[in-house]
Amino acid sequence: MPERTESDSRKLLRRLRDSLAVPGKGQDRLDRITSLIADSMRTEVCSIYLFRDPETLELCATEGLNKSAVHQTRMKLGEGLVGRVARLGQPVNTANAPAEKGFRFMPETGEEIYSSFLGVPIQRVGEKLGVLVVQSKAARAYSEDEIDALDVVAMVLAEMAELGAFAGEGDAMGAKHKQPVLIRGGTGQEGAAEGRVWLHEPRVVVTNPVADDPLTEIDRIREAVGVLRVSVDDLLAAESLDKDQKAVLEAYRMFAHSRGWLRRMEEDIQRGLSAEAAVEKEQSAARNRLEQVPDAYLRDRLHDLDDLSNRLLRILTGQGSDTGAEMPENPVLVARNIGPAELLEYGRKLRGVVLEEGSVGSHAAIVARALAIPLVINADRITTEALNGDPILVDGDQGLVHLRPDETVARSFRDKIAMQAEAQKRYASLRDLPATTRDGQTVALLMNAGLMADLPSLEGSGAEGVGLFRTELQFLIRNRMPQRAELAQTYARVMDAARGRPVAFRTLDIGSDKVLPYMKPQDEPNPAMGWRAIRVGLDKPGVLRMQLQALLRAANGRPLSIMFPFISEHGEFMMARSHTLREIHRERSLGHTVPASIEIGAMLETPSLAYAPQAFFDLADFVSIGGNDLKQFFFAADRENERVRKRYDTLNLSFLSFLELVVQRCAASGTRLSFCGEDAGRPIEALALAAIGLRVLSMRPASVGPVKSLLRRVDLAQARAVIETARTAGAESARPALMEWLATQQD
C-alpha cells in the first residue's frame, strides 16, 4: 500500500469540503463522506460513530459494513476498540483487531472479515463528538501519514458537526446546541434563577476548516503567533509585576515561543487545514493530554497552552472578547472558572453563575454568596454546550443546570421560584422580631459578610450584626498587597454600615483553597491542613501587624471585635493576642485613638482546641465555631471532595456530642460562644444547634428568615429531649427523629 502524501491529504479535504457544500440531509452527507473517505484512503470500510449521550456511541454511517446496523449498533464509552478511542481521545491502530484486548465483536455489522483497524477521535477543544474508523481485510498497521490524514479529516468533521452539517433525526444526530441538556454539578450557593446564558469567554467559531493555499495559511499563522509573542512580552515588561506573576507569564512566553507548537500547526496546515483549524486541532490535543496528566504542575502548564490557543484564535479570527453581542436583561454567567475581581465587575446584574470548575470554598463562591447569586460549580461541559443567549435554569439548591429546557421543566421551575419568593415575603414580616422560641429561649442570628456589597443585607435580613467579616477578600480581589490606609478605610466603612451593630472581623484567612494572586503558591500535599490562616499570620508577622493596625485605626474610638482563624492550640492564641496588645500600645503611644473596648476571640475549627487548657477559655473573650472546617476535620472528610463531603451528617450524634463539650467548656468560663458556617443557615441544623445550647448563630443573610421562622414556632426543651431520646436509642443521627417531631408541631 503506497504511503499517503501531503497533497493526498489536501485533495481529500477538498473533496470533503465540496461534498459538504452539496445541499442535503445530515444522513445523506454522512453517507457520502464515509464513501469518499474509504475511496481516498483505499480501505474497504469507513464508519462514523457519534455520541448519542455522554456515555453511548452509535454507528451513524458506514461504507463497507452492513447498512442495517446503522443507528442500531451502540456501545458504551470504553467498550470495544471504538469505545477505547473515544475514552482515551487517542488513535487506536492495529493490524489484528480481533486479537486486541477489549475487542468487542458486533455480529450485526459483518465486520468479522476485516482484520486491520484504525480509529481516531472526532473532538473539538475538549468536546468529544465521536469516532472515525477505517478497516481493511489485509492485516496491516496503518502508516503515521495515514493516521495524520485521518486525524485531520476528523478535525474537519468536528468543526462541521459544530456548525450543524450532520443534523438529523435521533439523539446521535440531533442539531448541536438545540436540544435540552441537564447538567449535574455541585452547590456553590443556594438559590434558583432563570435567565439567558452570557459566556465569560465567548466561543470562537471556525467556519473555514479547509484551506486551498497552505502558503497563505502558514503566513497567517506565523504573523498571528508573532502578534501573540509581542503581547506576552509586553505583559512581562510591566513594572508592576511581582516575581510570581512574572513566573506565570514566563511559562506563557515559553509556550508562545515554542518551535514545536508552531511546527505542528504548520504541518496540519500542509495537510489541508486552515490556520484556525490547525490551532484548534493542537488545542484539542492539549486538552486531551491535560485530562490524562496526574501531576498538578503539568496540568497548569497545559492550561497555559489552552489559554494561549484561545488568544491565538482571537487574533486570527478577529473575534475578541467583545463579540458585539449584547448582554441579555437576565444574564446567567457561564465560564470555565472566574476570579473574584472579575465576578465583582459583573456585580448584581447577574441572575446566576455556572462554572465548569470551582469549589465550595473558592473565591468565586465567596463572592457569589456575598452577592446572593445562585452558583453551580463543577458543571461538566457547560462551556462547550452553552451558547450566548441560550435559555438556562440554575438550581443552586440541587446543583443542577437546565440548558435550553422544555416548557414543562421551565413551568415547574418557575413555580419553585414563585414559592421561594412567597416564602421570602413571609420571612420579611419577621425581620424586626427576635428569634425567640416557644419556651422563651432567644437565639441571636448574625450574618456572614466579606464585601461592602454584603452590608445592605444587614438591614433587610433581620440579622442582629455581623458574626464573621472575612477580611481576606480585600486581599484576594487585588493583584498586589493592599496598603494599610486602604484597609483602614474599608474596615471603617464596614463599621459605619453596621450602624452600631456588632461586627467580628476575622483576620486574614489565606492558604488552603484561598491563595493570594501575588503570593507564591505552596506546594503542599494537603493544603487544608497546611500553612494557612493564623499559621501564615504568625510566620509573617509584618502582614498580621499591618492588618491589626488598620483595624485599630478603623475603629477610631468605637468598640472592636477581632477573631483569629484556625487556632489549634492555646499557644497560637496567646501569640496572636500578644501581637494585638502590642499594636494597641503602639497606637496609643503614637497618639492615635484606640478602640473604646476590644474583644479578642478565636475560631474553633480543629477538634484539638476543644481540649485546650482552661486558661484559653478564661482568656478568650469569645469563641466562634467554624463549622465548615470543623466538620471536615472531625469526620476526616475533605469538604472539597464531592465523594465524601456529603457523606457525613451534621446531626450525627457523635458530632453533636462534641459540640456539647465545647458549649460546656465555654459556659464554665463564661466565654461567649457562636456557631458560624453553612449549617447555621439550615433550619433543621440551626434547631439542633440551638437545642444543644448554642445561642448565637452566624449565617448568610438569606438564611436568617427561614431559620428565625422555624425557631419561633418550636420548643427548644422538647427538641433537646428528642435528641436525647435518639441518642439513648442508639441512633446514628438525630435528623430522622427531629424531622418526625417537627411534622407533629403546629404553626
Give the active site residues: 363, 676
Per-position b or e across 544-583, b if 16+ CB within 10 A of its CB: bbbbbbbbbbbbbebebbbbbbbbbebebbebbbebbeeb
Task: Report d(CA 83, CA 74) in Å as an integer.
Answer: 10
Q: Comparing C-alpha atoms, which of 670, 716, 669, 566 is closest to residue 626? A: 566
- What single-letter DSSP state applies at residue 728? H
What residues contact residue 582 under an 8 Å CB cut-off, 6+ apart? none
Question: Closest by alpha carbon to 137, among 44, 42, 1, 41?
Answer: 44
Single-letter code of the amino acid located at 172: A
- Interstrand relation of 466-470 and 503-506 (parallel, antiparallel or unpaired): parallel
Distance CA 285, CA 148 (A): 13
CA distance 684 to 696: 15
d(CA 558, CA 496): 10
DSSP string, 660-693: HHHHHHHHHHT-EEEEESGGGGSHHHHHHHHHTT
Query: How many other C-beta atoms lie within 10 A of the C-beta of residue 743?
Result: 7
Nearest alpha carbon to residue 342 among 176, 155, 201: 201
Q: Of 330, 326, 327, which Cα lies nearest the Cα of 192?
A: 330
DSSP letter at 400 equals: E
Selection from 575, 569, 639, 573 nearest residue 608 by Cα: 569
Cα distance between the two ends of the chain: 84
What is the grid cell recorded at 683? 433550619
**Residue at grid coordinates 469567554:** 201
By DSSP bridging, strand 92-94 and strand 331-335 are unpaired
Three cell numbers written together for 588: 496609643
CA proximity to 176, closest of 205, 133, 151: 205
Chain CA centroid to CA 9, Å: 40
Element housing 193 (H / E): strand 192-199
Backbone φ and ψ for 74, nearest 5 degrees, come out as -135, 155
Cell of 460: 433587610
- Yes or no: say if 704 and 462 are a contact pair by the CB < 8 Å rule: yes
C-alpha cell at 657: 456530642
